[in-house]
Amino acid sequence: MKARAKGTAPRIETQAVHAGQAPEPITGAVMTPVFLTSTYAQKGPGVHTGFEYSRTQNPTRFALEANLAALEGGAGAWGLAFNAGVAASTAVLAALLEAGDHVVAGDDLYGGSYRLFDKIFRRLGVSFSYVDARDAAAVAAAIGPRTRLCWVETPTNPLLRLVDIRAVARACGARGVRLCVDNTFMTPFFQRPLDLGADLVVHSTTKYLNGHSDVVGGAVIGRDGDLRARVAFVQNSMGGSQSAFDSFLVLRGTKTLAVRMERHQQNALAVARWLESRPEVERVLYPGLRSHPQHALARRQMSGFGGMVGFVLRGKTGGSRGALARARTFLRRLRVFTCAESLGGVESLAEHPAIMTHASIPAERRRALGIGDGLVRLSVGIEHVDDLIADLEAALG
């Protein structure tokens, strides 16, 4: 996008539509073409246009990367796109860590992130301490001489707990530890961790950034040039860069990010308030509710509350067996919501974290965290809110 001569930088709604997407120079095509090529002709050995091989350079992926960089980090930021959220996370760890290093991680994480840490990187000699990152002092206390990286999600998946990014960034910065924030749930539309002091942001672009549940993808965004070089080296050396076709789809998705996020949030708040009024529901987890214990932080740190809602069903007979049976029945009865893993698409989804997305977290750990049998997670879509509430009501009844 051309820089403005005067005045303010373009707002995020404008960046979402335009950043990284100048008309294609040969034909003037307004939409970025899908460069479905693995390789590029060279005039002679080493005489090329800057494009040699698509794992390393692809114009469609570059357009997406520039778009994501502008949304998350503004001018001067960089972005790198991967073929999964977990590939983006893998690249960050591989870029920053070696055997003997230590990571402080939040204790409530997407199950696949925990699995990556515990089953792959621990085997390679990296150690992890899991702390309740709602408490920045607990993060600071866990930092040791070999700590290189701190990894948090906020709001967390699935418990929607918040991490005070500024406070944790301060604790990390004081000890020379890099902070990486998984911003998948909020997207840069509602939360910008780099502005709050984080060094890196990762995304599962599978979710809100693409927004249509037809791509698996990931991204890493930052501002530090040295970090870019390290993560890009891993992207090229280990593979994992996003394909041209999927890059095109995510780029198409980000254009409508602003309007989708606004509707997701509006629907989610209405659903969360409605759930709070129901006798079958023991507790509702949504940062936009006054009852959320960190509602004040949510208001300060985020410009919206997002589309993810958790709630705990009461067991009919009391105890966890009753709650599990209720959750199963509820999820089977839904008709507008689909019982499925993932989140962030235009369609509403519902799932059971303990059995589905967080099954790779050991049962005792789940119990200690509060991911119980009665917990249901909703990804509230952009359908008409009355249809969503009617569906929930029928399934609860």
Binding of residue 219 to ligand P1T (CB under 6 A)? no
CB of 30 to ligand P1T, least distance (A): 29
Pick from 165, 210, 201: which is nearest to 342 by CA? 210
110 included as an active-site residue: yes
CB of 14 to ligand P1T, least distance (A): 27
Binding of residue 157 to ligand P1T (CB under 6 A)? yes
User: Which residue in 80, 86, 136, 139 binds ligand P1T (CB under 6 A)?
Assistant: 86
Q: Which residue is nearest to ligand P1T (CB)?
A: 85
Distance of alpha carbon 222 from alpha carbon 203, whole angstroms: 12
Binding of residue 216 to ligand P1T (CB under 6 A)? yes
User: Which residue in 64, 66, 84, 234 binds ligand P1T (CB under 6 A)?
Assistant: 84
Pick from 270, 395, 261: which is nearest to 326 by CA? 395
Q: Which is nearer to ligand P1T, 54 or 379 (CB)?
A: 379
**CA distances from residue 317 to 282, 320, 326 in whole angstroms, order as listed:** 14, 9, 10
Q: Give 37-98 as a DSSP string.
A: -SB---SBTTB-SS--BTTT--HHHHHHHHHHHHHHH-TT-EEEEESSHHHHHHHHHHHH--
Binding of residue 343 to ligand P1T (CB under 6 A)? yes
Count H helices and E strands in the chain, helices first.
Answer: 14, 12
**Catalytic one of 40, 55, 118, 166:** 55
User: Which residue in 218, 310, 315, 345 binds ligand P1T (CB under 6 A)?
Assistant: 218
Strand partners, 149: 103, 178
Q: What is the largest CA-CA distance in the chain?
A: 76
Binding of residue 182 to ligand P1T (CB under 6 A)? yes
316 included as an active-site residue: no
Pick from 248, 244, 165: which is nearest to 210 by CA? 248
Binding of residue 168 to ligand P1T (CB under 6 A)? no
Binding of residue 204 to ligand P1T (CB under 6 A)? yes
**Catalytic one of 182, 246, 373, 391:** 182
Distance of alpha carbon 338 from alpha carbon 350, whole angstroms: 6
User: Which residue in 153, 164, 199, 373 binds ligand P1T (CB under 6 A)?
Assistant: 153
What SS3 state is found at 375?
Answer: strand
Binding of residue 112 to ligand P1T (CB under 6 A)? yes
182 included as an active-site residue: yes
Binding of residue 357 to ligand P1T (CB under 6 A)? yes
Of 82-90, 126-134, 223-231, 388-396, the window that binds ligand P1T (rule: CB under 6 A) is: 82-90
Of 54-62, 71-79, 280-288, 337-345, the window that binds ligand P1T (rule: CB under 6 A) is: 337-345
User: Which residue in 35, 110, 190, 305 binds ligand P1T (CB under 6 A)?
Assistant: 110
Binding of residue 360 to ligand P1T (CB under 6 A)? no
CB of 214 to ligand P1T, least distance (A): 13
- Spatial CB neighbours of 286, under 8 Å, sequence gap ≥ 6: 160, 268, 269, 272, 292, 305, 308, 309, 310
Helices (H), the chain: 12-18, 59-73, 85-96, 111-115, 136-142, 165-174, 187-190, 225-238, 244-254, 257-276, 295-301, 319-333, 363-369, 385-396
Six token digits for residue 376 = 């249901």
Distance of alpha carbon 312 from alpha carbon 314, whole angstroms: 6
Binding of residue 342 to ligand P1T (CB under 6 A)? yes
User: Which residue in 32, 54, 184, 210 binds ligand P1T (CB under 6 A)?
Assistant: 184
Distance of alpha carbon 44 from alpha carbon 33, whole angstroms: 26
Binders of ligand P1T: how many residues, by CB under 6 A? 18
Catalytic residues: 55, 110, 182, 207
Q: Which residues bind ligand P1T (CB under 6 A)?
A: 84-86, 110, 112-113, 153, 157, 182, 184, 204, 206, 216, 218, 341-343, 357
